[in-house]
Amino acid sequence: MYDLIRKTSTVLPEDVTLAIKKAIAREEKSSVAKQTLDIILKSIVLSSKNGLPICQDTGTVLVMIEGRPDKSIFHLEKSIKDAIRKLTKEGILRQNCVCSLTEKNTLDNTGMYVPQIHFEPSNGPTRISIMLKGGGSENMSTQYSLPNAKIQAGRDMEGVRRCLLDAVFQAQGKGCAPGILGVCIGGDRASGYLIAKKQLFRKLDDKNPLPVLAALEKTVLKQANELNVGPMGLGGKTTLLGVKIGHAGRHPACYFVTVSYSCWATRRYAVELNQKGEIRKWI
Amino acid sequence: MDIKQITSPLQYDIIKELAVGDMVSISGRIVTGRDQIHKYLASGNPSPVDLAGLVIYHCGPVVIKEKGQWKITAAGPTTSVREEPYQAQIISKLRPGAIMGKGGMGEKTKKAMSECGCVYLHATGGAAQYLAECIVKVEGVYLEQFGQPESMWVLTIKDLPALVTMDAQGNSLHDDILNDSSKRLEELFSQPFKKSGK
């Protein structure tokens, strides 16, 4: 567990690094956008080389466990918390948990409902996914209830498109653009955010198996990059690195579009465990 | 693009010459401050450090103690606009030379910057390692009761790169980008989605 979380904090996933390299090639020479992305890439290389956090905001730890519901789950929960405490002491994770009542930092990254550990029963080998998501990008995440008069978004894919472009526009540079959108169409107020966040585990170069969502992902990515918000909101051709859309059944009265905005430093890895609870394979 | 070398604390004649779009390389003494520090100072509490002319960096670093010495292991900027309710007051009372962070700030801060002679420096969000390498010394730490990310760290930096995005003449690159992207959004709204993609 220690190795998994440590790598998530210090080594940017390959697909995200590749997307940033492609963005550098797309931006004009000597533009602010290119210089910004150059600094980002240099920082990514440094963090990986020195084994230090990619971003000082090492985020909130989100854990998804898929596996057979048995006692080993409790053991996993303990080893996750132990690893988090150790990595916080080592400066690989920042002290990122504040008690909302006392306003005191808990100093070890654990607290009421922290870390968030979600369990999904599954019959296959145990799989653990970790995401470290920063507060700046989390603040830019948002939920629309359609119809929305302000952006004239109705209850259809065109309405969804308007929500997504509006969310990118509202975020400007504040979520550390170029970002990645994880989206959920439908669900309820709570499930929408979780399903949207789960979309961020998808590799940037994958293709949505549902043609209508694949087309929407492609359109929103292209159009968001025409907004000229650019890296860090300083202008340029790269505002988003990816759009990943999922869907969930909804109550007939509700139509939520939930956007989980992730910064360029999208840090997530997943592993499969063997029966001893050791990492068998990185996914 | 030419890069202007500047040193914190900043002199007024340097501040007023800085303009939106200038790339700068900052050296000297700076302090960090984020949500708790801003709330604390804006509530009328005294600053433990004289902030006149200094760069206030919106940053919550990762810090460890190694052989009795503080060591910053990551130090990128945090989103500045959260300090909008407090920043103008702090600028007019404590007269820092620059505010450094990411994402820019709002109208109240912009007005205080024009009135008092202060600029906003935009550092690259998330580039925590690149920026941490620019920190050559931790001089001290104050207000530790707010927790490590929220304390006031006094740092010596060398050649930290940033872009002037709000100047003392009332210009803001963030306003320009917002207006331009708003127009583009309207144009994109007039091109309805077709299921076949475009």
Per-residue pLDDT of B145-187, as tens digits, reads: 998 899 999 999 999 999 999 999 999 999 999 999 999 999 9
Q: How close B79 gets to chain A, by Cα (Å)?
A: 6
| C-beta atoms of A54 and B128 within 8 A | yes
Chain B residue with the nearest C-alpha to that of A173: B103
Nearest to A113 by CA among A63, A76, A68, A79: A63
The stretches in chain B having pLDDT less than 70 are: 1, 196-198
Q: Are residues A32 and A67 in the same domain?
A: yes
What distances in angstroms separate CA A232 from CA A45, A94, A124, B34, B174, one per listed residue?
19, 22, 41, 19, 10
Q: Which residue type, as a one-letter code, is found at position A87?
A: L
How many structural domains is chain A composed of?
2
Asked if A110 and A150 sit in the same domain, the reply is no
Half-sphere exposure of B92 (CA within 13 A, CB side): 12
pLDDT interval class at A69 (50, 70, 90): confident
Q: Give the separation between CA B89 and CA B108, rounded to whole angstroms.
A: 9
- Residue B189: list chain A partners with CB under 8 A: 151-152, 162, 165
A104 and A142 housed in the same domain: no
Whether B122 is catalytic is no
Mean pLDDT, range A190-215, rounded to an integer: 98
Q: Name the band, by pLDDT with cuts 50, 70 and 90, for residue A233.
A: very high
DSSP H helices in chain B: 12-17, 35-42, 84-94, 107-116, 128-132, 173-189
Q: Closest chain B residue to A11 measured between Cα atoms? A: B129
Does the bond joining A147 to the residue before it have cis omega, within 30 degrees of 0? yes
Order of all β-strands in the sheet with A179-186 = A142-145, A256-262, A179-186, A240-248
Distance CA A177, CA A160 (A): 21
Q: What is the token pair recorded at B112?
A: 């205080």
Instruction: Indicate if A164 and A258 belong to the same structural domain.
Output: yes
Angstrom distance (rounded) from CA A116 to CA A62 = 5
Tell whether A146 and A258 lie within a shared domain.
Answer: yes
What whole-number distance in Å separates Cα of residue A186 and Cα of residue A231?
30
CA distance B84 to B92: 13
Task: Give exposure, A235-251, as e/b (b: 16+ Cβ within 10 Å).
Answer: bbbbbbbbbbbbebebe
Q: Do A53 and B184 touch (CB under 8 A)?
A: no
Q: Which residue of B has its CA nearest to A30?
A: B1
CA–CA distances in Å: residue A151 to residues A144, A148, A167, B136: 10, 6, 11, 48
A55 contacts in B (CB within 8 Å)? 74, 76, 125-126, 128
Element of type H or E holding A220: helix A211-224
Set of chain B residues whose Cβ sits within 8 Å of the Cβ of A92:
73
CB contact (8 A) between residue A215 and residue B196: yes
CB-defined contacts A:B, below 8 A: 189
Catalytic residue among B38, B58, B122, B174: B38
Which residues in chain A are closer than 8 Å to B60, comparing Cβ atoms? Answer: 56-57, 94
pLDDT band at A72 (very low <50, low <70, confident <90, very high): confident
Mean pLDDT of A244-258: 98
User: Element (H or E) spanning A281, and its range?
Assistant: strand A279-282
ipTM of the complex model: 0.91
Pairing of strands B152-166, B135-142: antiparallel
Of B104, B107, B106, B87, which Cα lies nearest the Cα of B95? B87
Q: Do the Cβ atoms of A235 and B173 come within 8 Å?
A: yes
Interface test with B, best of A41, A47, A56, A232 (most B CBs within 10 A): A56
Residue A15 above 90 pLDDT?
A: yes
Query: In this structure, what is the dihedral angle of CA atoms B122, B165, A38, B14, given to the nearest 10 degrees?
Result: -80
**pLDDT band per the 50, 70, 90 thresholds, residue A51:** very high
> Do A6 and A93 lie in a common domain?
yes
Q: Measured between CA atoms, how close is A46 to chain B, in angstroms?
A: 6
**Token pair for residue A105?**
């930092």
Q: Under DSSP, is residue B153 helix (H, G, I), strand (E, B) or coil?
A: strand
Exposure string of B143-154, with b = 16+ CB inside 10 Å and e = fewer, is beebbbbbbbbb
Closest residue to A46, CB basis, from B102, B133, B188: B133
Residues A180 and A233 in one domain: yes
Measured between alpha carbons, how far is B31 from B152 in angstroms, rounded to an integer? 6
What pLDDT, on a 0 to 100 scale, did the predictor assign at position B198? 46
What is the Cα gyration radius of chain A? Answer: 19
Question: Is a pLDDT exceeding 80 seen at residue A13?
Answer: yes
Q: What is the pLDDT of residue B196?
A: 60
A214, A278 in Cβ contact below 8 A? no
- Residue A151 sits in the same domain as residue A224: yes
The β-bridge relationship of strands B3-8 and B23-32 is parallel
Lowest mean pLDDT across A62-76, A130-144, A262-276, B69-83:
A62-76
A57 and A158 both lie in a single domain: no
Residue A140 C-alpha, separation from nearest chain B C-alpha, in angstroms: 11
C-alpha dihedral sign at A231, A233, A235, A241: positive
- β-strand A142-145 against A256-262: which pairing, if any? antiparallel
Nearest CA distance, A91 vs chain B (angstrom): 6
Give CA torsion, residues B78, B82, A107, A99, to 10 deg: -150
> Which structure tokens are listed for B31?
């302090």
Residues A125 and A149 occupy one common structural domain: no
Among candidates A206, A140, A210, which has minimal Cα distance to A168? A140
Residue A61, domain extent: 1-134+267-283
pLDDT of residue A73 exceeding 90, the answer is no
A87 and A15 in a single domain? The answer is yes
Chain A residues lying within 8 Å of B131, measured CB to CB: 43
**What domains, with CATH codes, occur in chain B?**
3-171 (3.20.130.10)
Same domain, A90 and A122: yes
Question: Could you give the C-alpha distances from B119 to B19, B83, B112, in angstroms and in order?
Answer: 9, 15, 10
